[in-house]
Amino acid sequence: MGGTATRPAQDATRDQETTETVNNADIVSHEPATGAEIWRGKPCNVDEVVDRARRAWPNWAALPLATRIELLRRFANEVRKDADRLAVTIAREVGKPLWEARAEVENVIAKVEVSIRAYAERTSQRKLDSALQGTMAVRHKPHGVLVVLGPYNLPAHLPNAHIVPALIAGNAVIFKPSEKAPATGEMLARCFHRAGISASVMQLAVGGPLEGQDFVAHGGVDGVLFTGSANTGISINRRLAARPDKLVALEMGGNNPIVLWDTPKLTDAAALIVQSAFAGAGQRCTAARRLIVKGAIYDAAIAEVKALADRLIVGAPFDEPAPFMGPMIDNMAADGLTESFLYLLSNGGKAIKHLVRPDDALPFLSPAIIDTTAMKDRPDVELFGPILQVIRVDDFDEAIAEANNTRFGLAASLVGGSPQDYNRFWANVRAGIVNWNRTTTGPSHAAPMGGIGLSGNHRPSGYYAADYCAYPVASGEMEQPRAVIGVGLK
């Protein structure tokens, strides 16, 4: 871990451009675990993609809802048929263990039925009848052409969580996968197309940040559905500040707290903490970044957490025995996390478990734990990897204040404590996901997924994605015109 200590990189780890560009044309994706090339292709022509989507959208929107739903169910069946190949591609392209990639594919499949239920519940047609006033109806319309900008950490599930609700609602979708995961994006798109959804209605648009910026600013795009870092989300928001007509749904990251309080089950608590901090190698927006611990149980609790973290296997996707976590997405991400750990260490942090990089040529990192209680100014950034900061507190009010000591507000969890403690925690912690004796990760498909502050713009995805994929239209309706002017006439 050579080098000098630097300030932790701002929260851009998830969507920095690190794929190789060859001759200023090809997008090239590499396996993090080996460095081998896995995919190569040309960036799309943004204007052509948008024009194709605009021409295709009216016919798609005019289809009966039942037809669109049937086509999405066929898509789920196509994913089932190709589940093994898709899981292997995900594992190779982003480095996650095969078991984790398979779980992601299952989430892709499950999202279809969840989205169908959500659309029926969240955008149901309603009518209020009055004999004299006719009918007041509420129905929903699609926006038009929506761009989905996907991340690499869950390269199939997270963009799919935007795409499926958008298609059900009647929008045409342009899907630009992360430039770090184009092979996964291509396989996902083919499943839509084999299901009978036109390649013009659900288009794959390969490209890097420049193409992403062009889609955001394009006049033919009616909305942008983004999952990624806060920095990029803020940039999108600024770019569209003068376009209130354009839908923007931002699902960004978090500096998420997990608070450990009184509990006799420290072994179970340690498992929840380790899963929250290190699942997906810490490359999840809901991962716990800060562990806030009651001083009276600090020593025993940290011993349990470290002992379990020491047992975690770090390895390549197809290793046996299966690893708990794989590598970072690339060497740039691993370098940035290494520098961030050194910064924390050089500015008052006390290492509990050091960050270790066994091979400088590959982006594997061990899980790391560092006590930052003594740091005067703890950086409020999303360190998108396996670094858990520990903060010791004396009372519950201090724990809540420390949990809220962030500009983000995605996920928070209380482990231990009484029902009264959880009531106080839930009422006072600023986050869109607040759990008790559960991990910060793995949000329910049947619940909204989103946060406040720098974690989102109050448009949660998950079950509530239906809310931003269609807009409500209020209609006063009578079969025959009937009206009189009762006052003010000569």
* Positive/negative CA dihedral, 307, 288, 178, 104: positive
Q: Which DSSP symbol is given to 282?
A: G
Distance CA 385, CA 328 (A): 7
Is 251 catalytic? The answer is: yes
78 SS3 class: helix
Question: Is the preceding omega at residue 321 within 30 degrees of 0, hence cis?
Answer: yes
Give the active site residue among 44, 191, 285, 469: 285
Burial class (CB in 10 A: 0-12, 13-18, 19+), 73: middle
Q: Is 436 in contact with 413 (CB distance < 8 Å)?
A: yes
Distance CA 216, CA 209 (A): 10
Distance CA 381, CA 255 (A): 6
What φ, ψ does residue 349 adopt, rounded to 5°? -75, 150
Calculate the alpha carbon distances from 297 to 186, 262, 265, 301, 381 in Å: 49, 7, 11, 6, 27
Q: Which DSSP symbol is given to 453?
A: G
79's tokens? 């994913």
Distance CA 144, CA 41 (A): 28
Give the active site residue among 93, 251, 304, 382: 251
Across the chain, how many H-helices and E-strands are there?
A: 14, 20
Residue 163 carries which side chain, given as an amino acid letter? I
Distance CA 118, CA 400 (A): 33
Q: Is 90 in contact with 31 (CB distance < 8 Å)?
A: no
Q: Is 383 in contact with 337 (CB distance < 8 Å)?
A: yes
- The DSSP-derived string for 45-68 is -HHHHHHHHHHHHHHHHHS-HHHH
What φ, ψ does residue 300 adopt, rounded to 5°? -65, -40
What φ, ψ does residue 228 adopt, rounded to 5°? 170, -155
Distance CA 322, CA 144 (A): 44
135's tokens? 């009918």
Is 285 catalytic? The answer is: yes
Distance CA 261, CA 282 (A): 23
Task: Tell me which residues are annotated as active site.
Answer: 251, 285
